[in-house]
Amino acid sequence: MFWKRTRLALLASFFMATTANVVRAEEAKPVTAPATRTVSYKVLVPEYYETTRIVNKQQCVEEKYTAFKCENVKEERTRNVNVNRIVNEMKEETRTVCEWVKSCEERTIMKKVTTCKPVTCTVKKCVDKGHWECKEVPCGPSITDRLKGLLGKFKKDDCCETKCETACAPKTKTVKCWVSNKVWEECKVTKMQKVTECVPTKVNVQVCKKVQKQVKVQVCVKKCVTEVKTEKYTVCVPKKVAYEATRKVMKCVPVEEKVKACKMVEKTVEKQVVDCDPCAAKCGILDNLKSKFGDLRCKLASHKKSDCNSCCK
């Protein structure tokens, strides 16, 4: 790597020196009209064409395979079974029995007795301590006055009589009236009141008592007896059976299809370019470098393309 770098550095310095000399020589020449020249260069042009290609596509394909299914097969087997059988058995047992026995007992009870007793209490009375008074009260018309009034309707009015009647005072009568004066008075009253008292009394009562008694009884007892018994039974045993089945599987299948493709084709193009001296000098130097050092010119030159057309554009 070190020797490669040193070689490249030397070549770069040599190239810069030669280009500087050429530029100085061109600057010394007199100015003339620009000359043109025909330059040919290669261009990549797209070209479309039809072709075929093989593509892997996923397709649903039926395939056969061996599958297993489980089937139940009946088998007869024998086994010994313990069977419990219940048997009745008579047995004598002694049991305690309770009996009700009547008896007479003397008991003291509280008996309710009702008696009448004199009770003195204070009572309030409303007493009317009023008096009689004589009052004059207007009395109504008598029978004679009423008859006179009826007869007067048929007679002509006499001025003297009407004036006399109006001038006379109304008739009154003396009536005896009672003027009340009510006063509350307290007085003691003795009355008979019923009083209920509880008195202890002795009474004979019939009572039933429980008396325990031992009695022998015949009892039917159930007894469990075990017996061995042979029996046959059917069992379903699962077994695997092979059979051929089909299933659908997604597989990659190569398929040929037509496709439009594009390829880049080189074409030579000619172009009129102004011939400039500095550029021609540079192009000559580059041609000399290419003849001497081969492809190293492309690494050292400042232009991207291998020909001199890039600097002359």
Kindly report the pTM of this predicted structure: 0.23
**Are the beta carbons of 218 and 92 closer than 8 angstroms?**
yes
| Residue 308 CB-density burial (10 A; 0-12 exposed, 13-18 middle, 19+ buried) | buried
CA distance 25 to 6: 29
Please tell me the predicted confidence (pLDDT) of residue 34.
66
Residues in the chain, pLDDT under 50: 22-29, 166-167, 277-281, 294-313
Please tell me the predicted confidence (pLDDT) of residue 205.
87
DSSP-derived letter for residue 129 is -
Please tell me the predicted confidence (pLDDT) of residue 313.
36
Please tell me the predicted confidence (pLDDT) of residue 80.
92
| Residue 280 CB-density burial (10 A; 0-12 exposed, 13-18 middle, 19+ buried) | middle
* Residue 47 CA from chain centroid, whole number: 68
Please tell me the predicted confidence (pLDDT) of residue 78.
92
Q: What ranges do the domains of the chain cover?
A: 1-27+276-313
Please tell me the predicted confidence (pLDDT) of residue 286.
52
Please tell me the predicted confidence (pLDDT) of residue 209.
87
Please tell me the predicted confidence (pLDDT) of residue 272.
81
Please tell me the predicted confidence (pLDDT) of residue 153.
64
